[in-house]
Each structure stands twice: as structure tokens, then as C-alpha cells.
Amino acid sequence: MVPEYREGDAAQPVPVRSERFFNLHNFWFFATREGAAVGPYDSKPQAQAGVSDYIEFVTRADPSSLQFFTTGTKFGT
């Protein structure tokens, strides 16, 4: 079996994927590659559409804006 590679990854095999979408308290979220939960959405199709918006944001955002979506980053006062 030939390993698959994601665009932008330096020759690293694609990790085992888990379900990206999950339901919590009747709202839908999706998990990013970095481990952040993005949502809430009223339905799974809305969360699925939100992934496209998120990818567009990530490709255009400056690095300081992306810190919010990095695991372990603390925000607030």
C-alpha cells in the first residue's frame, strides 16, 4: 500500500483519521487538524459547510490569527 500525503506536509503519511464532526448538547462541531473544536452549528450539514469556510480562513489568515486554533493556547483575562 502506498502512503498518502497531504498537501503541505513534508513527506509524512496521512495519520489515521477519526470522525471530524461531533454532536454536543444538540449542536454540531467539527475538529480541526490542530485539535480545536469549531462550532456550534445547528446541523451536521452546516458544520460540513463550515469546514470549507474554515479552510479558506486558514489559507488567508496571518499567523497571529491562527494562534486561537492551536492546542494549548490560552485566551481570556
The chain-wide mean pLDDT, for the chain, equals 79
Q: Side chain identity at 64, as an amino acid letter?
A: S
Q: What is the DSSP letter of 17?
A: P
Checking if the pLDDT of 77 tops 50, the result is no
- The two beta strands, 27-31 and 37-41, are antiparallel
pLDDT higher for 41 or 6?
41
Question: What is the C-alpha separation between 77 and 68, in angstroms, rounded?
Answer: 14
Q: Say what the pTM is.
A: 0.62
Checking if the pLDDT of 32 tops 60, the result is yes
Residue 63: pLDDT band (50, 70, 90) is confident
Nearest to 68 by CA among 58, 77, 59: 58
Question: What is the C-alpha separation between 8 and 33, in angstroms, rounded?
Answer: 13
Q: Among the ranges 1-5, 10-14, 53-57, which has the highest mean pLDDT value?
A: 53-57
